[in-house]
Structure 1
Amino acid sequence: MTHDRSLTGELARFAARLSFALDPFQRDACAALEAGHGVLVCAPTGAGKTVVGEFAVHLALASGGKCFYTTPIKALSNQKFADLVERHGRESVGLLTGDQSVNPTAPVLVMTTEVLRNMLYASSDTLRALSYVVMDEVHYLADRFRGAVWEEVILHLPQEVRLVSLSATVSNAEEFGAWMETVRGDTAVVVDENRPVPLWQHVMVGRRLFDLFDTSSSEQKIIVDEDLVRYIRQRESADRMNNWGGPRGRGGGPRRDFRPLPRPEVLAQLDEEGLLPAITFIFSRAGCDGALAQCVRSRLDLGRQDELAEVDRIIERHTGDLPRGDLEVLGYWEWREALHRGLAAHHAGMLPAFRHTVEELFVRGLVRAVFATETLALGINMPARTVVLERLVKFNGESHAELTPGEYTQLTGRAGRRGIDVEGHAVVLWQPQVDASAVAGLASTRTYPLRSSFRPGYNMSINLIDRMGAAESRELLERSFAQFQADRSVVGLVRGIERNQGQLAKLRDQLGGAGGGVLEYIALRERIAQRERQLNQQRRADRRGAAADALVALQRGDVVAIPAGRRAGLAVILEPDATPGDPRPLVLTEDKWAGRISVADFPSPAEALGRMRLPRRVDHRTARARRDLASALRSTGIAAPGRGRRTGNRADAADDRELATLRRTLRAHPAHHRPDREQLCRVGERYSRLERETESMRQQVAATTNSLARTFDRIVGLLAERGYVADGEVTADGRRLARIYTESDLLVSECLRQGIWRGLGPAELAAVVSALVYESRQEVGLIGAAGPTQPIRRALNATLAVWTALRADEAAHRLAPTREPDPGFVGTVYLWARGDGLADALLAGGEQSSPLSAGDFVRWCRQVIDLLDQIHGTADDVELAATAAKAVRAIRRGVVAVDAA
């Protein structure tokens, strides 16, 4: 290697052990770290950011201190642990991921960020002599579900600890760095936007591969390649001509049947162009599996005979401990056949052992084509020569939305392997709705802003109070990145207020000044408009109140008519809900839909049109039960009425005394009779509108300032009401809540305090607590009394009652509601924990008659294990704690125990 003589001290010693020369940004960041600064490094995927983290490890070992290396996911922690062990030896490096504890007293510890957060709250002895913390993938703090953990760690770490923050390229790195400086002290921000391997952008139209950009142009602006534009026009024109004389579409015009190039042919074309290995991103698990199946059915074979023995060795190492009887259920033989042909899928629905096998084979070049969901782009070190995007639209959980420039950059960032490829390639497959200029816009825009997702929750709040008291906790929340960003937005609002005030002064002059009568007249008109708005709001509130009361009054078996919307028609009440103000009864409609309805579905109060007999137990999650009930509902002979007029208490404007008085005063005002009244009123309307806008901005400023602290105060109020905090001190119940880390932390704590899970067997306890961690991929409601055993049904109903009461308290305190328990995994984990086979468990956990995937099964089992472990460690009831430990052992077997990383 070439030695850089300009380097000195520990950096020179560190660099001398590397097999490559440091890039300028790596050198700058490492020099700042050695000089005693914290550092924030923002650079593209594959640029080599982790070198800076490894230098922090080197500095800690050289000084006799400790370094914690944190990552967002266990797979990355395992990967980094292996890298550091290879460099520094097994005696110097440990691993803590929740599932595993390897050499926990080592000076270098690799861990997930949650583990470090929990250590900080517990004031763990392991924190002694800690000198450096590396936070890899720190941009995860924007993650909606887990992002708060990163900010908690940054805020709680002792000031003497040097923080090394490694982030993907974000467009507001300076803002993030400025915040880091306010909370961590001197922080160097090092930004590098140069990819170590240049990325070429392409569009594949049919079998032809075109460059996206015109690279021959000497102009600074980005120009789409003219050959690509011309060929697309020709292709579209030819398609129109070919289809004109053919079969007609449903509208009578020509049928536009576009058939994309089959995936095997796409891969064969890329192979011919020398662009493999490739990752094709498909935004659904089923799509990935379908693409792989399509390739396996074809004659495509990208494997090599001389590599098959090595492929089988790696497969055996990862899957050798899987129970032989489960291999058929897992589709092992078809999966292995695909790997032999150099093909694989990669998504969260796969068994972790399968997924990790694919990752290793791909990195070693033994698999040459992978169909993956976008989760692969987040963190796993699995680069390719080429990234293929079949579509530029994905489902975001609510609707199909176009990819953002940030998402496009994140996905295509996998293309180009440092030290292997001279250049990387991104290929978009053309379809008729794909606009080349829109692709160019995605590929050339570098906007990826980092937005904080930090919000105080119950566990966080109780830990803060326990560590530093309520007053200091509020101050800490006000130092968060979320509040920092909110306060910066206030600057723009204040400027807007000042600008509006100047315009208001000019308009006042046009209306005769502050002391003139016209402004008084304008104010009268505004008060009349405001009163009319109040009366309209009151009418709506009256209607909502009447609709809520009507829903509360409904009983099980009542038949109602949903008047409008997607669920319009007859429905039967399966489970009433008496929650005041916001009842959400569970219903089944005549169209076989089951779910919760609300006041929003009823512009006028619902009324029972009749009743029907229901079975004692209704499992609305099964397609057969829904079909039978819907058929019975339709056969009752009850008819949905036509739309009647709305009822409810009305606040009629014609009867309102205040409004009548205001209108009389307006007509008697001198300005009402001025000849230029209408002209003045138009100016006055602008004045009133601007005044309302300014007041709204003032309210935004007031709401934004200290917004997190106010949420914290509401949480403390609720916790005090429920006995978790008393006189500013954390109670015994509060200390238990402080050790429960789950999305439904307060609900778990309440269930433990009220003892509603006592007396359950291990499999039954696992089944009940699964409702607090599981989230169905499709919309379902809690099944109430449904469950495999009577104790499970009793405990589920009691858990639901606790949640209902908690939700009412949260509404009263204006807090976001705790997520409703979801029973979708109850039957599955019960069968598994009592010892049933994998096939039966997977079938029991399917939604809409589809079996649960092996990957989802293992993931949810591990989340249930995690919560059971917490119950084991926090429950006051000795018998319940012992049952939780037995439940953990019962679940941790077979596929759940294999490859637990």
Structure 2
Amino acid sequence: MNTPAERYAAAKERTKEADTGLPEFRATLGFDLDPFQEEACRAVASGSGVLVAAPTGAGKTVVGEFAIFEALRSGRKAFYTTPIKALSNQKFSDLVSTYGPERVGLLTGDMTINGEADVVVMTTEVLRNMLYADSDTLEGLGYVVMDEVHYLADKFRGAVWEEVIIHLRDDVQVISLSATVSNAEEFGGWLDTVRGDTRIIVSEHRPIPLFQHVMVGGKLMDLFAEDVAFDQVAETPERSAAVNPELGKLAQRGFPASRSRSFQRGGRRGGNGNGGRQREQISTKVSRPDMIMALDRAGLLPSLVFIFSRNGCDAAVAQCVRSGLALTTTAEATEIEQAIDLVAYKLPTDDLEILGFWPWREGLMRGFAAHHAGLLPIFKEVVEDLFARGLVKAVFATETLALGVNMPARSVVMEKLEKFNGESHVSITAGEYTQLTGRAGRRGIDVEGHAVVLWQNDTDPAAVAGLASKRTYPLNSSFRPTYNMSLNLTSQFGRERARGILETSFAQFQADRSVVGLARQVRAREESLEGYKKAMTCHLGDFSEYAALRNALSEAEKEASKTISRQRRSAASESLESLMLGDIIEVHGPRKLGRCVVVELDTAWNDPRPTVLTEEKHIRRIGVQDLDGPVEIISQIRIPKGFTGRSPKERKDLAASLHNAIADSRPPRRGAAGFNFSGSQEQEEKIAELRRALKAHPCHGCSEREDHARWGERYTKLLKDTNKLRSQISGRTNTIAKTFDRVASVLEQFEYMIPASNDKDQAQITEAGQRLRRIYGERDLLTSLVMESGVLNEMNAEELAGFISALVFQARREDNSDEPRMPSAKVQLAWESSINLWSRLSDAEVIARLPETVAPDSGLIWPMYKWTKGSDLRECLRGTDLAAGDFVRWAKQVIDVLDQLAKIPDLNAGLARSCNRAVDRIRRGVVAYSNVVD
């Protein structure tokens, strides 16, 4: 029973609540608010901003929904922002069902529905653009909900979140919803600094407990030695560290484990009559269909299976279809068929095959599907809907699904714990593991969720346990000033104030805080340096001086060695360039190729790689890296006409000629004979001088010289590291403002900004700069430079759409093929102009020490040109490796840029007309369709 004091405090709280919409809002819910939701809603009701950091599925969005409720109750507007269009579409549908279509709008760049409504859902970029344009839509805005705010760590688009947070009016309440991050206090501290009163509310409680497993050959085994759920891991770290010993044995011995937990449909507690222990040999590998069947037997469907590959997701569906697996009842299949038919009649019949409609349909009818960025948006929406309705039981997905789209499941399966990041295969982080597995356990449906990792040959159970135990990750800013941002800030606030505004970013906030830690490290190292100095004290003289001489000599010798290496490489390259067909050469190098005959020349001037036949009849290519110096020319023979080296007889006959020529050979005619490699004269003189100074130093004769020297080497190394830290401290002070200055220097070079004549610290935005303020994207300045050149002015709609795609598109894989013939002379001229302008811009960025703008990419020019001209999808995608979903996604981004250009004030009239026509012609068929407009 509560004490009188506690009852009095509760009564006061209820009196305060009566003046807010919280009691009324609570009455609309079909469940009780969790403590963190209650606390956050009260903070919103009191007028504070809030940062809510909680696990996936914990119910953070309830706080955002309360802010919307309060806005409508008080007659103010509310914006709900998300990082991606799919999540905006989903939230729009949710809010329409709650408040009706007349009160809710949607703005996603390529789509506008009721944009002046009381509640508008939008991507964060749209809100950023509104703020810079000082849009009338901002009038009356009271609340902004920033869903998935941890996305500001994204290196490509994360800066947008910080721009919005900095520029929103002070009277707008910001409700930030984040995944659980380890530095929530730091991020909340920054929000409090730039937005005023901000409450930080962190919850690590999952309403649905999450259990961790490993699937070994179709058998589910507990990851931890005891039954430890999600919340218990943090509460009992000593237990969470205890991995199931049977998994440890499996990893050590490399043969199947003997202990597994038996599962039964409808619950995880099952038995096999002997307490869950059994002796049976099981295979460690499991096929995808068998894995799904094992989950089904255990009652763990519906399931999300994360496969970090689009092809892998599609292949998984195909494998399940081929296996004959079916997870649906006849009634469920009929319901799925009805949903599919609603989509099919809206798609051109001729496009169904190229869209992969029939295999997609077959998988859905059986209860499973893929979900990835290459899938047509229509198809993804149907998969999401059917999964939410419990009709689709298994979805094979890439990590893009983890970004907010509402698809909770009973279990989440991780096929592997590494992914390809665009450059190499890397292990997933603890934060990524948390984000992905956090979808396991449907609130109001499941009593518990299950995360399952499939056993691989290199699985380390301790590493998996580490991922499962660390559920938080740091939120690090990716903010940096862009060309567009810099012009908008300078135009609105002037150059000096713009610098000051940028200094308020979370990036600078973190940099300033990190300086404190670096300074602490420097102080600690300075104390160690003093200790090292004492340890190397020499009675004959200043040993630190002697140590510096030794270090200088070592560095000089290393530099001379590098010079010799460069000489060897240069001589090796020249010798390869001078080779002729039929030359017999002696190859000295790590591959020990010995004597060979040149059978094919490579004319690349910067990296010659001739093809040779060795005495052992092997065909090899050799390059500079295969040589210790220049090759030696021993002799020469004639290479038979048409020699390819493919047949053993060809190689045998030529090798015989090679042996005969070697036997008759004379000393080398050209090559390395007598070649002298050495450092430069200046380097040799410096080395000699340092050696003389070393011998002349008093400490050189010390009997304990080498003991002192060891301390001296430690001193020198630590001093070098300490100086690096000092440099970091210097570099992190005013880092964002310094980057802004470098961006401004490039803008001045291209005459988008000119220094004010009466004040060097101010700047004037030129007419071109004013136009660039309306262009957003990774290639914003390049797009503006091309537009200002005038090469777009005479283009028709299809030419313009095709070319603009080159300033938007980025191929998933590097394409080394020759540039294709362009659709028209005008597109060709624009392409050549864009390459030349990009080259000039790239040079300027290198000099300014800025990241280089991504080069134009021609990979989408022809498909977009054909589509805008009216071709069907099959014709547009012929000869490309573009997936239909990718084409639609890029087409919408092209629409976005064309729409931006069309709205630029004082734009060339012909160009504006072509932009609008191109938008109308692109927005058709599969590009135009979306469930949100139905």
Query: What TM-score bracket applies, with the shorter chain setting the length?
Result: 0.7 to 0.9
Q: Paired residue for 1:710?
A: 738
Q: Paired residue for 1:90?
A: 101
User: Which blocks of at least 5 consecutive residues in structure 2 are unaligned?
Assistant: 1-9, 229-235, 259-281, 576-587, 592-597, 613-622, 632-643, 647-653, 659-668, 756-762
Q: Paired residue for 1:177?
A: 188
SS at match of 2:239: coil
CA pair 216-500 structure 1, distance change in 2 beyond 3 A: closer
Structure 2 residue identity aligned to 1:667: K
CA shift for structure 1 position 657? 4.4
CA shift for structure 1 position 476? 1.9
CA shift for structure 1 position 228? 5.1
Percent sequence identity over aligned pairs: 50
Q: State which of 716, 719, 727 in structure 2 corresponds to 1:691.
A: 719
> Are 1:501 and 2:526 counterparts?
yes
Structure 1 residue identity aligned to 2:434: T
Structure 2 residue identity aligned to 1:896: V
CA shift for structure 1 position 656? 4.8
CA shift for structure 1 position 647? 11
Is the CA contact (8 Å cut-off) linking 2:110 and 2:895 kept in structure 1?
no
Query: 1-side partners of 2:116 and 2:676: how far apart?
Result: 69
Q: Which has the larger Rg? A: 2
Q: State which of 219, 224, 234 in structure 1 corresponds to 2:243.
A: 224
CA pair 200-522 structure 1, distance change in 2 beyond 3 A: closer
Q: Paired residue for 2:255?
A: 236
> Residues 579-618 of structure 1 correspond to what in structure 2 (within 5 A)?
none
Q: State which of 105, 109, 112 in structure 1 corresponds to 2:123.
A: 112
Query: 1-side partners of 2:570 and 2:143: how far apart?
Result: 57
Q: Paired residue for 1:621?
A: none
CA pair 879-228 structure 1, distance change in 2 beyond 3 A: same
CA shift for structure 1 position 408? 1.5
CA pair 436-670 structure 1, distance change in 2 beyond 3 A: closer
CA shift for structure 1 position 303? 1.5
Is the CA contact (8 Å cut-off) linking 1:829 and 1:841 kept in structure 2?
yes
Q: State which of 14, 30, 35 in structure 1 corresponds to 2:25.
A: 14
CA pair 442-516 structure 1, distance change in 2 beyond 3 A: same
Q: Paired residue for 2:890?
A: 860
Is the CA contact (8 Å cut-off) linking 1:603 and 1:646 kept in structure 2?
no
Structure 2 residue identity aligned to 1:774: F
Q: Paired residue for 2:466?
A: 441
Identify which range, 54-63 or 229-238, moves more after superposition: 229-238
Identify which range, 721-730 or 124-133, moves more after superposition: 124-133
Query: 2-side partners of 1:643 and 1:457: how far apart?
Result: 53
CA pair 546-115 structure 1, distance change in 2 beyond 3 A: farther
> Residues 525-604 of structure 1 correspond to what in structure 2 (within 5 A)?
525-532=550-557, 571=602
Q: Paired residue for 1:772?
A: 807
Is the CA contact (8 Å cut-off) linking 2:52 and 2:60 kept in structure 1?
yes
CA shift for structure 1 position 514? 13
CA shift for structure 1 position 815? 1.3
Structure 1 residue identity aligned to 2:80: Y
> Residues 145-544 of structure 1 correspond to what in structure 2 (within 5 A)?
145-215=156-226, 220-222=238-240, 223-226=242-245, 236=255, 260-512=285-537, 517-532=542-557
> Are 1:892 and 2:892 counterparts?
no
> Are 1:869 and 2:899 counterparts?
yes
TM (norm. structure 1) is 0.84
CA shift for structure 1 position 113? 0.3
Is the CA contact (8 Å cut-off) linking 1:70 and 1:113 kept in structure 2?
yes
CA shift for structure 1 position 180? 1.4
Query: 2-side partners of 1:170 and 1:328: how far apart?
Result: 44
Q: Paired residue for 1:819?
A: 854
> Are 1:791 and 2:815 counterparts?
no
CA pair 430-529 structure 1, distance change in 2 beyond 3 A: closer
CA displacement 1:644-677 (0-9 Å, x = unmatched): 7999998626655455444433333333333333
Q: Paired residue for 1:124?
A: 135
CA shift for structure 1 position 564? 11
Structure 1 residue identity aligned to 2:783: V
Query: 2-side partners of 1:836 and 1:860: how far apart?
Result: 17
Q: State which of 836, 840, 854 in structure 2 corresponds to 1:805.
A: 840
Query: 1-side partners of 2:629 and 2:873: how far apart?
Result: 48
CA pair 230-650 structure 1, distance change in 2 beyond 3 A: closer
Query: 1-side partners of 2:590 and 2:900: how far apart?
Result: 43
SS at match of 2:413: strand
Q: Paired residue for 2:638?
A: none
Query: 2-side partners of 1:150 and 1:191: how far apart?
Result: 20
Query: 2-side partners of 1:386 and 1:485: how far apart?
Result: 37
CA pair 668-45 structure 1, distance change in 2 beyond 3 A: same
Is the CA contact (8 Å cut-off) linking 2:226 and 2:239 kept in structure 1?
no
Is the CA contact (8 Å cut-off) linking 2:371 and 2:396 kept in structure 1?
yes
Query: 2-side partners of 1:650 and 1:802: how far apart?
Result: 43
Q: Paired residue for 1:721?
A: 749
CA pair 817-175 structure 1, distance change in 2 beyond 3 A: same
Q: State which of 839, 842, 845 in structure 1 corresponds to 2:874.
A: 839
> Are 1:29 and 2:29 counterparts?
no
Structure 2 residue identity aligned to 1:675: S
Is the CA contact (8 Å cut-off) linking 2:574 and 2:630 kept in structure 1?
no
CA pair 13-547 structure 1, distance change in 2 beyond 3 A: farther
Query: 2-side partners of 1:260 and 1:234: how far apart?
Result: 15
CA shift for structure 1 position 589? 10
CA displacement 1:343-380 (0-9 Å, x = unmatched): 21111111110110010010011111111111111110
SS at match of 2:775: coil
Query: 2-side partners of 1:646 and 1:213: how far apart?
Result: 68
CA pair 664-226 structure 1, distance change in 2 beyond 3 A: closer
Is the CA contact (8 Å cut-off) linking 1:827 and 1:844 kept in structure 2?
no
> Are 1:881 and 2:900 counterparts?
no
Is the CA contact (8 Å cut-off) linking 1:280 and 1:372 kept in structure 2?
yes
CA shift for structure 1 position 537? 7.1
Is the CA contact (8 Å cut-off) linking 2:251 and 2:459 kept in structure 1?
no
CA shift for structure 1 position 487? 2.0
CA displacement 1:33-64 (0-9 Å, x = unmatched): 22221110001111110111111112222222
Query: 1-side partners of 2:237 and 2:133: how far apart?
Result: 59
Q: State which of 101, 104, 110 in structure 1 corresponds to 2:112.
A: 101
CA pair 88-604 structure 1, distance change in 2 beyond 3 A: farther
Identify which range, 656-665 or 146-155, moves more after superposition: 656-665
Identify which range, 528-537 or 482-491, moves more after superposition: 528-537
Q: Paired residue for 1:245?
A: none
Is the CA contact (8 Å cut-off) linking 1:96 and 1:115 kept in structure 2?
yes
Query: 2-side partners of 1:232 and 1:525: how far apart?
Result: 49
CA RMSD of aligned residues (A): 4.0
User: Which blocks of at least 5 consecutive residues in structure 1 are unaligned?
Assistant: 240-256, 551-562, 577-583, 592-598, 608-627, 631-636, 847-851
CA shift for structure 1 position 19? 1.3
SS at match of 1:370: strand
Q: Paired residue for 1:45?
A: 56
Query: 1-side partners of 2:572 and 2:373: how far apart?
Result: 42
Q: Paired residue for 1:634?
A: none
Structure 2 residue identity aligned to 1:135: M
Q: Paired residue for 1:751?
A: 786
CA shift for structure 1 position 783? 3.9
CA shift for structure 1 position 387? 1.1
CA shift for structure 1 position 165? 0.3
Structure 1 residue identity aligned to 2:423: E
CA pair 547-122 structure 1, distance change in 2 beyond 3 A: farther
Query: 2-side partners of 1:431 and 1:666: how far apart?
Result: 58
CA displacement 1:676-718 (0-9 Å, x = unmatched): 3333333322222222222111111111211221111111011
CA shift for structure 1 position 827? 1.9
Q: Paired residue for 1:760?
A: 795
Structure 2 residue identity aligned to 1:684: G
Structure 1 residue identity aligned to 2:749: E
Is the CA contact (8 Å cut-off) linking 2:106 and 2:113 kept in structure 1?
yes
Query: 1-side partners of 2:113 and 2:609: how far apart?
Result: 51
Query: 1-side partners of 2:833 and 2:785: how far apart?
Result: 11
Structure 1 residue identity aligned to 2:120: L
Query: 2-side partners of 1:782 and 1:212: how far apart?
Result: 48
Query: 1-side partners of 2:57 and 2:296: how far apart?
Result: 23
Q: Paired residue for 2:765?
A: 730
Structure 1 residue identity aligned to 2:897: L
